[in-house]
């Protein structure tokens, strides 16, 4: 995948932010839960979450003593970014397959 024309998607240009976004797409999570699944510190996770919140992709809510982060359900940008990730993955896979010499064999 090479280019995207929308600045808001630059929010997901950072691999760690993208990883956080995808984890939240699977399950709303706290900072600690995210940090356990990533090779970065809790403060670093918080920093990325702040950028995602400011960009409108993520919202947070209090759940007892925890603060839980999730994709912004009112944000069409979240849906758009989500679909964008799907096409990114799909087109990369398409590229690999199209350039593979084994394709004809795989089809048989």
Q: Which is nearer to another protein, 14 or 22 (CB)?
A: 22
Select 49 or 78, whichever has its Cβ closest to another protein.
Answer: 78
The site for another protein (CB under 8 A) is made up of 1-6, 24-28, 70-73, 76, 78-80, 82-84, 86-99, 103, 106-107
Nearer to another protein, 41 or 80 (CB): 80
Residue 44 and residue 35: Cα distance in Å, rounded?
9
- DSSP track, 60-78: EEEETTEEEEEE-TT-HHH
Coil/strand/helix, residue 75: coil
Tokens describing residue 52: 């995602």
Smallest gap, in angstroms, from Cβ of residue 13 to another protein?
13
Task: Specify the DSSP class assigned to residue 57.
Answer: S
Q: Give the shortest CB-68-to-another protein separation in angstroms.
A: 10
């Amino acid at each position: 995948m090479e280019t995207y024309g929308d600045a808001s998607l630059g929010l997901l240009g950072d691999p760690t932010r993208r990883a956080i976004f995808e984890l939240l797409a699977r399950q709303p999570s706290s900072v600690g839960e995210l940090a356990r699944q990533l090779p970065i510190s809790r403060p670093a996770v918080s920093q990325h979450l702040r950028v995602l919140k400011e960009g409108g992709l993520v919202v947070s809510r209090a759940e007892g003593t925890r603060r839980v982060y999730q994709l912004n359900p009112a944000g069409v940008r979240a849906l758009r970014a989500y679909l964008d990730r799907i096409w990114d993955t799909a087109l990369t896979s398409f590229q690999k397959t199209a350039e593979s010499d084994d394709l004809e064999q795989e089809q048989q």
